[in-house]
Amino acid sequence: MSEWKVSASHLRRAAVIYVRQSTLLQVERNRESTARQYDLVSRAGELGWPRSAVTVIDEDLGLSGASAAGRSGFAELAAQVGMGQVGIVLALEVSRLTRNNTDWYRLLDLAGMTDTLIADADGVYHPAVFNDRLVLGLKGTMSEAELHILRARLDGGIRNKAARGELRRGLPVGLAWGEADGEIVMHPDEAVTGVIAAIFDRFAVCGSVRGTWLWLRDQGLKFPLQPGAYVRGSEIIWTGPTYHAVHNVLTHPAYAGAYTFGRSRQERYAGPDGALRIRRRMLPQDQWEVLIKDHHRGFISWDAYQANQARIGQNIRPVAHQPGTGAVREGCALLQGLATCGTCGRKLAVYYEGKHKATPGYYCTGTGQIVEGRGTRHLRVGGVAIDVAVTAAFLAALEPVALQACLEAARQLEQGHDSALEQWRRQVEQARYHAARAERRYQAVDPDNRLVARGLEATWEKALTELAAAEAELARREAARPAALSGQERAAILALGDDLQAVWDAPSTTDKDRKQLLRTLLDEVNITIRRDHDSGRADLVLRWKGGAISELTIPVKRKPPRRLRTDEDTISLARRLAVHYDDAKIAWILNRQGRRTPRGLSYTAGRVQGLRHYWGIPRHQDTADNQEGELLTVADAARELRLAPSTLHRWLSDGFIGGEQLTPGAPWRIRLTPDTRALFTDDAPDGWLAMLEATLAYGVSRQTIMQRVKDGRLRAVHVRTGRRKGLRIEPPAPQDGLFGPTTMNKGAV
């Protein structure tokens, strides 16, 4: 053998036994192979390793060796080999370690760099030796090829059996596998098949998956679930219906008697974290691998299944600019999903206007020519007259079959109630069976065995409670069911068939019902709007199911163009401002006051100029002012008086000086007369008082002093230089007599 390759360096490190089986079923049944792998511990002892130095890694039992992903045992083995802790790796064969050459050669590289041996049932190999590495490489390639051959054989057998319709796979609830090869039969429970049949019957009436689901919920019907779909006779679990369950019933081809295989495809892709992931993608019908029609008895025919799929496909919201009618909705626009643009062919969108949003209209989402920077619609028209014309054409086409349509509507109404009641009767019968079975179990138990008897008694009581609730609900629904049509009522319905307009306009007929009726005969309504100077008309092309075409022409109202006009207050203000300011300044003032153009835009110098030209307002002229003094802005006046603008604004607000403002938001202006200039000086007159001294001298507050300055009863100047800049107030005149100021006080002041 190859025991001479084992050196003292190898014996100082551990010996690792790697144990793996591909599936849990192999672990359970192929015990001999597992035992042989555990017996490699004795093989390590024969090569010289003590039992204490032998480690067994068996975390990967039940996992496939096709990839290292998810195999913690193999990852631990590779880590120990890479750190040089392993002297030899023992496995029954190479395929136990891995069946993927990428993982296999990575392990060989690590073993070669760390002087680690690899042993199987045939011998001991050193990956660093060329001949041994060559043999190990061939074994790894053969192991990977063996996996491919096994998969190809299994997959070929599966596909060959599926092509004959005999491959047993999970069936949807309501169907079960029979005794013969490929035999599929109806579920023996009538309650299960009854609710499935009710779903298809209801969809034929309402034409919507969601509508069918809501009907099941409204009727209080339960939906069956069959967890053990592969096992015949597995127990049924009843639960509340879900939209996904109803959609699966209406779209699964097995309910149409077809056997299918390969309706989905498994794809591999790299996730955001770089890990390999698998997803399943549903394929279109033309890409199904196996489709055997009329394979077994179904709930509906294959043609009905195809019609249902087309109807469901039309109910989804269509992609932009693509054909599709969409499901009927509650709005009053009758041509929703049917109307198209006569210019570009797009489906027309719906809008509603009026006080209560009760007036429908149609518009095209495409844009035509650009006018004033905006795209104009190909079509935008009110829908009242158009809906009336299409309705009249529809009712006229329906008259020959009006009587049959009325009777069919009455029959469908009765059938809907009867199917729901029949399902409730089945549920009551099922509840009665469960109660009887619980009673038999309770009667069969030994009364002295109270541990079992108490549990069976509780189960019996629960079954009796459910039975009583089901019977009460059935009685309530039977009482609420509308009575069957009598002979007189049928005659009345036939009489209504002579006046379809009255039925169409009846309050009990909803807009949703009217839309659904229109779709039974109409495929498309193409609308083209033509306008001239005096009037307008709409040309309608009605495409009926079957290929017939009708053309209608109806007048449509021409909306007067919206008149744009600037409000009188803005015009008057612009006229006053133009005397003093240029167009840019006027635009700034108008925007500051929050004014907008008739189109809702802000003002610019160009828009103000257009406003002046339209209303004949002359522009601002820079002329000399005839009044005394120069009229300046606050900033220019502050510069002229050698003050800070904030100081001048404060004296304006306090009333120390006067100013002019044409309108709120316009800039303040100050007229610099000699008197105004004299109010600002570098030196205060002798004896004039600061504000605090003036309040003490006059015995009043600062506000009173400022009010007297505004009224002209006191004189004041503003000192703009020196250490005590600010306001100086004229002192009070001296008074003789008892209360006149003393010499001491006078000097103090």
Question: Which residues belong to the active site?
Answer: 22
Residue 479, SS3? helix
Which residues, in sequence order, are bridge partners of residue 57? Answer: 18
Compute the Cα dihedral for 192, 197, 198, 199 and give only its sign: positive
Structure tokens at 93: 């064969």
Environment class of 222 (CB within 10 Å of its CB; exposed 0-12, middle 13-18, buried 19+): middle
Cα dihedral 557/561/567/568 (nearest 10): -90
- Report H helices in 336-486: 384-398, 402-444, 450-480
Element (H or E) spanning 505, and its range? helix 500-505
Query: Where is 82: in which H helix or E strand?
Result: helix 72-82
Q: For 121, which DSSP code?
A: S
Q: Residue 731: is it exposed, middle or buried by C-beta count within 10 angstroms (0-12/13-18/19+)?
A: middle
Place of tokens 């990839």: 67
Bridging pattern class, strands 237-239 and 223-225 = antiparallel
Name the residue with tokens 């009224």.
711
Q: Does residue 717 contact residue 685 with C-beta atoms inside 8 Å?
A: yes
Q: Is 549 helix (H, G, I), strand (E, B) or coil?
A: strand
How far, rounded to the nearest angstrom, does the alpha carbon of residue 480 sit from its chain's CA centroid?
40
DSSP 401: G
In whole angstroms, what is the distance from residue 457 CA to residue 414 CA?
A: 42
The SS3 call for residue 256 is helix
What is the pairing mode between strands 380-382 and 290-292? unpaired
Residue identified by tokens 């002798």 is: 686
Task: Enumerate residues 6+ apart whose C-beta is below 8 A from 27.
Answer: 21, 34, 61, 62
Q: How far apart are CA 558 and CA 665, in angstroms?
A: 43
Residue 360, both tokens: 């429908």
State whether the Cα torsion 332-333-335-338 is positive or negative. Answer: negative
Closest CA to 204 of 419, 464, 355, 449: 419
Residues 6+ apart with CB under 8 A from 145: none
150, 269, 593 from 586: Cα distances, Å:
89, 65, 11
Q: Find the DSSP H helices in 101-224.
A: 101-113, 130-163, 190-206, 209-219
To the nearest 10°, report the CA torsion of 284, 286, 289, 294. 110
Cα–Cα dist 668/727, whole Å: 22
Phi, psi angles (nearest 5°) of residue 66: -65, -25
DSSP letter for each residue of 671-706: EE-HHHHHTEESSPPTT-B-HHHHHHHHTS-HHHHH
- CB 584 within 8 Å of CB 590: no
DSSP 8-state secondary structure symbol assigned to residue 87: E
As a three-state string, the secondary structure of 259-286 is EEECCEEEEEEECCCCCEEEEEEECCHH
Sign for the pseudo-dihedral over CA of 164, 169, 175, 180: positive
Instruction: Report, in angstroms and rounded to the nearest whole number, the Rg of the chain calculated over CA atoms.
Output: 48
d(CA 746, CA 739): 12
What is d(CA 90, CA 655) in angstroms, rounded to the nearest whole number?
105
Separation CA 173–CA 244 (nearest Å) = 13
